[in-house]
Every structure is written in C-alpha cells, then in structure tokens.
C-alpha cells in the first residue's frame, strides 16, 4: 500500500494532467477487484454449500441405514421368539420346510452347473486351436465362479440365519445330540459347496426327526 502511495505521488503531475482518464482507470480497476472478490466469495460459498450437502446426505444415509438395521433386528428378534415359543411339532415342520427349500436350492444349482459343464465340453470338443481352447476354458472358469458366488450369496441371504437359529433351538431341546461329523457346525456358516449344503440339510433333518421321536417317547 505504501508503494502505491509513493507511485501516485511520483506520477501525480501526470495524473493531474489527465484526471478523467485516471478516474476511469480507477473505476475500471475497482470494478475488476470487486468482480474478482465477488467470484472468490461465490466460489467459497459454493464449496461450503457442496460440503454441507455432502454431510447432510451422509447423515441421511446413515440414519436410513440405522433404521434398516433396527428393523432387521426387530424382525430377527420376532423370528427367534416364534421359534422359541413353538412346540415340538411346529419346530419340526418349520425345520423340514427349510430342509426342503435348501435341497430344492441345491438341485437347481446342480442343474445349472451341469448345463455349464456340458456346454464347456461341447465347446472344447469343437475347438480347433489352442487359443480357442484357452478362450473356452477361461469362459468356463468365469461362468463357474459366477455361479459359485451367486449360490453362496443366495445361501447367505435365504438360509444361513434361519438354519443357525433352528440348529441352536433344536440343540437346546436335544442336549444329548451329537452331529454325525464334527465339522457340520462349521458348514452352517460357510458351506462353500454342495457337500456343505447337504451337510446342513441332513443335520437339520436328523435333529427334527429326533425331536419328535424324543417327544413321543416321553408321552
């Protein structure tokens, strides 16, 4: 600022000879400075507004997520209470229904796997070069992985929670029960393949039938 005053003092004689031009120049410079400041201020305001909107959206999503978790927890608690309050016959039927649905699920994916395997064999037989065989194998591997991921995701979504819940309730009513294989309990969490899925179904089915036998034996 001091330098500006010094410059004006030095050039005052020139400026005094053309006061109108000086005033015009000063007005232009003031206008440019004002526009620059206004643009900068507007940019800051926009940034603050965008940040606030982002934070608001995050809070909204977290609130919705919390409500979703709360609803799931309430539904799960209600489902557990229904299982705990059920008599032996109702628990047996509920378990066997899940076993049936689980085995239908297994058969559906087995058919899909067979279809993919047959198509892969057909393509490999007709492949004329090593590159074609490699491309066919890569496609087969990708399709197999896709089916495996879909199958495991569907088990987690449709069966895992109910299977564990029913297993725990059945075990509480069959204190002397021992699984046919020690690894069966691990299969409830991560069955990974058809052997695991079948282990879960067979373990639940065995307990359900033992439950009604135990009740009939006591009556």
To which H or E segment does residue 126 belong?
helix 88-126
State the Cα torsion 107-113-115-116 to the nearest 10°.
Answer: 170
pLDDT band at 204 (very low <50, low <70, confident <90, very high): very high
Across 18-22, 74-78, 159-163, which has the greatest mean pLDDT? 159-163
**What integer pLDDT is reported at residue 130 of this predicted model?**
82
pLDDT band at 219 (very low <50, low <70, confident <90, very high): very low
Angle in degrees, 0-180, between the axes of helices 88-126 and 130-155, rounded to the nearest 10: 170
Tell me the CA distances in angstroms from 148 to 124, 152, 174, 179, one per residue in order. Answer: 21, 6, 34, 26
To which H or E segment does residue 119 belong?
helix 88-126
Lowest average pLDDT, out of 7-16, 103-112, 169-178, 199-208, goes to 7-16
User: Which segments of the chain does DSSP mark as H helices, in order?
Assistant: 2-10, 12-17, 19-85, 88-126, 130-155, 161-173, 184-189, 194-218
Q: Considering all CA atoms of the chain, what is the largest pairwise distance in Å, rounded to the nearest integer?
A: 121
**What integer pLDDT is reported at residue 207 of this predicted model?**
95
Residues 6+ apart with CB under 8 A from 50: none
**Per-domain boundaries in the chain:** 1-85, 86-218
**What integer pLDDT is reported at residue 69 of this predicted model?**
47
pLDDT digits over 24-58, tens only?
A: 555 666 666 767 776 776 777 777 777 767 766 66
**What integer pLDDT is reported at residue 174 of this predicted model?**
93
pLDDT digits over 146-192, tens only?
A: 999 999 999 999 999 999 999 999 999 999 998 888 888 889 998 98
Residues in the chain: 219
């Amino acid at each position: 600022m001091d330098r500006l005053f010094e410059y004006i003092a030095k050039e005052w004689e020139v400026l005094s000879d053309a006061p109108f031009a000086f005033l015009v120049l000063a007005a232009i410079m003031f206008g440019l400075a004002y526009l620059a400041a206004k643009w900068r201020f507007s940019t800051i305001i926009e940034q603050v507004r965008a940040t606030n909107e982002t934070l608001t959206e995050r809070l909204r999503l977290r609130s919705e997520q919390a409500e979703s978790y709360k609803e799931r927890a309430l539904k799960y608690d209600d489902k557990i209470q229904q299982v705990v309050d059920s008599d032996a016959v109702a628990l047996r039927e509920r378990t066997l229904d899940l076993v049936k649905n689980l085995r239908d699920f297994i058969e559906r994916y087995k058919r899909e796997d067979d279809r993919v395997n047959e198509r892969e064999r057909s393509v490999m037989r007709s492949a004329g070069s090593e590159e074609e065989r490699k491309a066919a194998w890569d496609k087969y591997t990708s399709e197999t992985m896709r089916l495996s991921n879909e199958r495991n995701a569907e088990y987690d979504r449709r069966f895992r929670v109910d299977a564990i819940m029913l297993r725990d309730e059945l075990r509480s009513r069959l204190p002397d029960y021992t699984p046919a294989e020690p690894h069966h309990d691990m299969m409830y969490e991560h069955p990974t393949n058809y052997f695991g899925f079948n282990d879960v179904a067979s373990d639940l089915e065995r307990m359900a039938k033992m439950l009604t036998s135990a009740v009939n034996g006591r009556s």
